A and B are shown apart, each in its own frame.
Chain A
Amino acid sequence: MTNKTMTAAINEAIDQEMSRDDKVFVAGEDVRVGGPFGTEAGLHAKYGDKRILNTAISELALTGIGVGAAAVGLRPIIEIMIMDFVAVGMDQIVNQMAKMKYMLGGQATLPIVVTTHAGIDSSSAAQHSGSLEAWFCHVPGLKVVMPSNAYDAKGLLTASIRDDNPVIFISNKRCMASMMEVPDESYVVPLGVAEVKRSGSDVTVVALGRLVVDALTAADELAKEGISLEVVDPRTLSPMDMTTILASVKKTSRAVVAHEAVRNCGVGAEIAATIADEAFDFLDAPVKRVGAPFTPVPFAPALEKEYLPGAQEIIDAVRSLYS
């Protein structure tokens, strides 16, 4: 057990899986030099050109390398540097890797992980700040994973690499430097299993990615007023562990769903709708959603601050349940 950043935890998961299984390789832009976030730091020196495949700035070819290589037996990790860039490679993700097993009548198995970095970070503006997880949760055939801390990141990435399905693994940029105790040895956090990050009795906050950190801050704050939050981190967004979420809502009778992505048609809308479907009789108040406003991500720090949902927005949403 060592204190590690989420970046280091991700790097360790990739390294350990590459060492465990020689079918695992990484392809991406600038992965030779460790990638801009350092998630592949030191791996090229250890594994060489083929297993750390440095590609052109060609997200479509890069993602296609993953599909083709997986179809004939390898286990690619495809790094899309910034989540917004995924739009360039979208055909290979949505039309090819997601559908191939099904439309080929089960002939193909595609163990691919697409790793990417999402969210707002120091005025990166509208094309480098996106949280686009909802796009992928809408597509059958893909799994979608979004860790909120270093421990989960390592275990979920290990599980994703070992999984026989295409997995979109999304790291929030503002979580990358967060530190916590992480085991040095390899371990798995299973996909599709949520975790209650803080137990509480009054309101369930289902938070995604970085908003888990904010929800825990909000819980500390509201505890001072005698409102007890239960914070649930789905960790995997598709498939979503609604069992854990519904059990929490049935206990607390109130729910807030929070994510950094825009609120409209976000993953939170699906969670809120499912709570309404499955736990309506248990609710004492409407389900509230916290998310970014329906605008592109702005550049100016003053606007970015206004845009970004966080602890205060969660606190406001919780208070509105009692008004």
Chain B
Amino acid sequence: MDLSNADMLRMFEQMTRIREFDERAGLLMEQVKVHGSVHLYCGEEAIAVGVCEALNDDDYITSTHRGHGHLIAKGGDVDRMYAELFAKSTGYNGGKGGSMHMAALDLGIIGANGIVAAGLPIGLGVAFASQYQGNDRVTVCFFGDGATNEGAFHEAMNMAAILKAPMVFVCENNGYGEWSSAASTTSVADIVDRAASYGIAGAMVDGMDVAAVHEASIAAVARARSGAGPTLLECKTYRYYDHVGRDFGVLERDPDEIARWRARDPIKHWREVLIAHGVFDDNTADTITASIGADMERAIAKAEQAPDPHPDALYEDVYSESKV
């Protein structure tokens, strides 16, 4: 794979942006400064970035409850994202969605979703619209291993295969669905095995390696765009934190398991690759990380100062005004 230094650097910055965003989001949830549930993407950054770097600006994604990484990777503005977590009127959803419903339709981000696997049938509809309109846009559906046990997964995969829909189904297999291990809930160890039952292409990659995710995504996106149909791309990864927040205290995981995965941290790994390639040195990498961290602090301060939604917003946007 030919990645320019600029590409490699941007991927490092994007992964770092996601990590710095969510580490702070977790802390802010514990401090009860942000509202509701926050599902952290820490550990899975290579997937969102590896996939979205293979997309065009006008391609679409559907996301999940664990969606901050997808939004940032697809071009989301962290100022508006933090503002949404703080339930402010300047947030992406005007403070009416929160973490689980963040969307930016103008960036092709159809939305995070509080219902597991719901983004797959919606993504199918978006992809069908591209076929209908005759454009070459691709739709990526991100979802976890738990989503593959939902009926929506089966229905959407089958119809996507029948329609040869321009889609990539990206399964972030982090080993846990909420507080239950995939081993205890899922009939296959490798989600990619489920692709065969729909007669579609399947690929499995190391979800901790952004280059591997990116290379597989380029192939899957090209297949979708060419009209050859969808791909199920399984990315093996790990959720560093709890289902909700950093430590919700329901599930006890083996500390060795956590340590093993953290030792393969996608950002740390990519940083070493970039240093080996001479893209930057340790000092520059530290400076970049610190600078992104400072951006987050500014965004948080700005979000804290932003206005709450006006009480009238309660009644707005339930219905569209229709002139029939």
A residues engaging B (CB < 8 A)? 25, 50-51, 53, 55-56, 58, 60-74, 76, 88, 91-92, 95-96, 100-111, 140-141, 143, 159, 162-165, 188, 190-191
Assess the A159–B324 pair: CB atoms within 8 A: yes
- B321 touches A (CB below 8 Å): yes
Assess the A64–B115 pair: CB atoms within 8 A: no
Given contact pairs A60-B152, A74-B133, A107-B103, a sample of 13 additional A-B residue pairs in the complex whose CB atoms are under 8 Å apart: A60-B121, A67-B122, A68-B110, A68-B126, A70-B125, A74-B129, A92-B118, A95-B114, A96-B115, A96-B122, A108-B105, A159-B324, A162-B324
Q: Which positions 57-108 of chain B face chain A at CB distance < 8 Å? A: 60, 62, 91-97, 101, 103-105
A100 closest partner in B (C-beta): B111
- Pairs A–B under 8 Å by Cβ, sample size 22: A53-B128, A58-B155, A64-B156, A65-B124, A67-B121, A67-B122, A68-B121, A68-B123, A68-B126, A68-B128, A71-B122, A72-B60, A72-B130, A88-B151, A92-B118, A104-B103, A105-B96, A105-B97, A107-B103, A107-B105, A108-B103, A164-B320
Most buried by A among B121, B127, B162: B121
A162 closest partner in B (C-beta): B324
Contact status of A64 and B152, CB under 8 A, knowing A58-B159, A141-B318:
yes
Most buried by A among B120, B125, B129: B125
Q: Mark B129-172, 1 if CB is under 8 A from A, else 0.
A: 11111000001000000000001100110110010000000000
Assess the A69–B111 pair: CB atoms within 8 A: no
Cα A191 to Cα B323 with chains together (Å): 11
Assess the A104–B93 pair: CB atoms within 8 A: yes
Assess the B320–A64 pair: CB atoms within 8 A: no
Give every chain B residue within 8 A of A74 (Cβ-Cβ): 129, 132-133
Give every chain A residue within 8 A of B111 (Cβ-Cβ): 100, 104
- B257 touches A (CB below 8 Å): no
- B322 touches A (CB below 8 Å): yes
B162 closest partner in A (C-beta): A56
CB distance from A97 to the nearest CB of B (A): 9
Contact status of A72 and B129, CB under 8 A, knowing A67-B121, A164-B322:
yes
Q: Which positions 195-253 of chain B face chain A at CB distance < 8 Å? A: none
Contact status of A107 and B121, CB under 8 A, knowing A61-B156, A73-B129, A102-B318:
no
CB distance from B100 to the nearest CB of A (A): 9
B91 closest partner in A (C-beta): A105
- B254 touches A (CB below 8 Å): no
Partner of B321, one of A76, A140, A164: A164
Assess the B155–A68 pair: CB atoms within 8 A: no
Assess the A64–B60 pair: CB atoms within 8 A: no
Assess the B159–A67 pair: CB atoms within 8 A: no
CB distance from B152 to the nearest CB of A (A): 5
Cα A180 to Cα B63 with chains together (Å): 49
- B2 touches A (CB below 8 Å): no
Assess the A65–B316 pair: CB atoms within 8 A: no
Assess the B129–A64 pair: CB atoms within 8 A: no
Partner of B126, one of A60, A69, A101, A165: A69
Assess the B121–A102 pair: CB atoms within 8 A: no
Contact status of A69 and B128, CB under 8 A, knowing A106-B316, A159-B324:
yes
B319 closest partner in A (C-beta): A165
Most buried by B among A50, A63, A68, A74: A68
Give every chain A residue within 8 A of B123 (Cβ-Cβ): 64, 68
Cα A163 to Cα B155 with chains together (Å): 28
CB distance from B164 to the nearest CB of A (A): 12
Give every chain B residue within 8 A of A165 (Cβ-Cβ): 319-320, 322
Assess the A191–B96 pair: CB atoms within 8 A: no
- B317 touches A (CB below 8 Å): yes
Cα A53 to Cα B60 with chains together (Å): 22
Partner of B158, one of A25, A61, A109: A61
Q: Which 5 A-B pairs have the closest CB atoms?
A: A64-B121, A68-B125, A105-B94, A61-B155, A105-B93
Most buried by A among B103, B118, B127, B155: B155
Give every chain B residue within 8 A of A72 (Cβ-Cβ): 60, 110, 126, 129-130
